[in-house]
Amino acid sequence: MAKKILVVDDEKKMLRVIELSLTEENYEVFLASSVKTAKESIFENDIDLIISDLKMPEETGLDFLKWLNENGFAIPVIMVTAFATVETAVESMKLGAVDYIIKPFKLIELKQTVSRYLFCKEESKKEENILLKKKHRRKFREFIGSSEKIIKIKELAKKSAKTTANILITGETGTGKEILAELIHNLSDRRDKPLIKVNCTSIPFELIESELFGHVKGAYTHAYTDKEGKFEIANGGTIFLDEIGSMKPEAQVKILRVIQEKEFQRVGGNTNIKVDVRLISATNENLQKAIKEGRFREDLYYRLKVFQINIPPLREHKEDLEELTNFFLSKFKTDYGIEKVEFSKKALQKIFDYNWLGNIRELENIIEQAVILSEGNLIEPDDIIIESQQYIDGTDDSLIDLPDTGIKLEEIEKKLLLQALSKSNGNQTKAAGLLGISRSALRYRMEKHKIPFK
C-alpha cells in the first residue's frame, strides 16, 4: 500500500511542487496550508510521514511539532526551512523532528530524505541507488559562464590542470567549487584515472585516518580484512578534499605528511605506500581566520594553495545569469520530458532582480521547481518560489545593494543619522528610536559626524 505523506506549507506553490514530485514516486500525498488543517488531516488519515514548513503566519512548524509531541503522535517529521532560519530548524530537531531540508532544495534530495525515513534501511538503499543513478547520468557536468570573472577562472583551471600542484578552491556555498574541481580533473592528464571525493565534515575523526589511508587486518577490533584508503584508490588521479576547513587538526597533520613525503602507511601497517595523487581542496570558510583562531595549520594552508581559485558569488557576476538560466531550463526540460516551456518576461525580471545568496545552487533548484510548476508554455513570476526575506523588490530594506567603490560606511552612517533626525524633526529620542540605538549612542555619533544639536 502506498505510504501516506502529509505536507504542510502556507505557500500553495510549494505544496504543489512537493505534491508533484512525491506522487511521481507513488506516495499518497495529503496537503495542508495551515497547521490547523494539518491537525485535522492527522485525525482523518493514517499518516506515515509529515513534511512541514517551519515559518507559517499563524501556528508555526515548531508549534505543530509540540502539538504532535503533546498528543502522542509518533510520526516522523521533516522540517522544511529557509536558508536564514537553519538555526530554528536545528532547534526543531531537539523537539523531535527527524531531519530538515533547506529551501530551495533539490527534488532528489527531498525524495531521498523521505525514503530514508519511510523504509527500512535495505529498501531505502535501493531507492537511493536508483535516485543516485539518475543523478549521475550526466558524467561530465558543464561549467557554465562567460563573464570576465568566470573566463579568468576557466583559464586558471586549465593552466593549473596541466600541473601537479595542489589547488585550493574557495567561495561561498553553492558557487560551484565541486563542479570546478571536476572540470580541473577532466582537463588534466589524469582524466582517465579516478577522481575521489572526500567530504571532511561527514567522516567522524576516529574513522578519517583509516578512510584516507586504509588499514591492515587486525588494526582494530573490527578490521577483519585489509582495506585500501582513498589515497590508494585515487592513485594516478585526483583527491578532492571538500570542506577542508572543518578537518580536525589531528587529521590535518596526516595530510601534511602525505603532501611532504608522498607516501604513508596503512593504519596498523608498517610498509610505506607510495602514491601519485593530485590534491584539490575546497572550503567556504575563511581559512586565514581559522588559522588565527588556531583551528587550521598554517603550514598546511600554504601547501594546499599552490594555486588558489576563488569563485565569486553569483551576485558579483550577474552577467552570467541569462546563460545559467537558459542552461538549467533546458536541462530540466530534458529531465522532465517537457518540450515547450520558457520564462515570461516578468519571470526573467524576477530572476534578475534577486540577489541569489544561495548562489548557483539556489538558482538551479528554483528553476527545477519552476519548470515543474509551470502550466502551459510559460513560467510566470509566481512559479519562481523565492523566499521573500531575501528578495529585493523595493519594499525590503534589510539588504542594501552596495556599489563596488566610492561609498564609505562613514558616509552611509551620516546619511542615516541625518535622515532619522529630519524625520523626527530633530527630536533625538525619536531619531534614536528610528535607528534602534540609545539616545547617548545617537549623540556620540552626531558629535563624531559634527552634526549640530538643535
Ligand X SMILES: Nc1ncnc2c1ncn2[C@@H]1O[C@H](COP(=O)(O)OP(=O)(O)OP(=O)(O)O)[C@@H](O)[C@H]1O
List residues near ligand X by CB under 6 A.
141-145, 171, 173-179, 284, 360-361, 364
C-beta closer to Mg ion: residue 282 or 379:
282
318 binds, among ligand X, Mg ion, none (CB under 5 to 8 A by kind): none
C-beta closer to ligand X: residue 171 or 214:
171
CB of 197 to Mg ion, least distance (A): 9
CB of 51 to Mg ion, least distance (A): 25
C-beta closer to Mg ion: residue 242 or 387:
242
CB of 177 to ligand X, least distance (A): 3
- Residue 362 sits in the site that holds Mg ion (CB under 5 A): no
Task: Give the binding range for Mg ion (CB under 5 A) out of 3-11, 97-105, 178-186, 297-305.
Answer: 178-186
The span from the CA of 397 to the CA of 391, in Å, is: 10
Binding Mg ion (rule: CB under 5 A), the pick from 178, 211, 320, 362 is 178
C-beta closer to ligand X: residue 214 or 245:
245
CB of 246 to Mg ion, least distance (A): 12
- The 3 state secondary structure assigned to the chain is CCCEEEEECCCHHHHHHHHHHHHCCCCEEEEECCHHHHHHHHHHCCCCEEEEECCCCCCCHHHHHHHHHHCCCCCCEEEEEEHHHHHHHHHHHHCCCCEEEEECCCHHHHHHHHHHHHCCHHHHHHHHHHHHHHHCCCCCCCCCCCCHHHHHHHHHHHHHHCCCCCEEEECCCCCCHHHHHHHHHHHCCCCCCCEEEEECCCCCHHHHHHHHHCECCCCCCCCCCCECCHHHHCCCCEEEEECHHHCCHHHHHHHHHHHHHCEECCECCCCCEECCCEEEEEECCCHHHHHHCCCCCHHHHHHHCCEEEECCCHHHCHHHHHHHHHHHHHHHHHHHCCCCCEECHHHHHHHHHCCCCCHHHHHHHHHHHHHHHCCCCEECHHHCCCCHHHCCCCCCCCCCCCCCCCCCHHHHHHHHHHHHHHHCCCCHHHHHHHHCCCHHHHHHHHHHCCCCCC
60 binds, among ligand X, Mg ion, none (CB under 5 to 8 A by kind): none
Q: Kindly state the number of chain residues that form the binding site for Mg ion, as judged by CB under 5 A.
A: 1
175 binds, among ligand X, Mg ion, none (CB under 5 to 8 A by kind): ligand X
Give the x-and-dash track for 182-221 against Mg ion (CB under 5 A). Answer: ----------------------------------------
C-beta closer to ligand X: residue 5 or 363:
363
CB of 368 to ligand X, least distance (A): 10
229 binds, among Mg ion, ligand X, none (CB under 5 to 8 A by kind): none
C-beta closer to Mg ion: residue 17 or 360:
360
CB of 330 to ligand X, least distance (A): 12
C-beta closer to ligand X: residue 211 or 242:
242
CB of 319 to ligand X, least distance (A): 13
Grid coordinates given for 348: 526573467
362 binds, among ligand X, Mg ion, none (CB under 5 to 8 A by kind): none
Comparing every residue's Cβ against ligand X, the nearest one is 176
C-beta closer to ligand X: residue 203 or 378:
203
C-beta closer to Mg ion: residue 311 or 385:
311
179 binds, among Mg ion, ligand X, none (CB under 5 to 8 A by kind): ligand X
Q: Give Cα separations from 406 to 18, 253, 412, 445 (angstroms).
A: 45, 44, 11, 22
171 binds, among Mg ion, ligand X, none (CB under 5 to 8 A by kind): ligand X
Per CB under 5 A, residues contacting Mg ion are 178
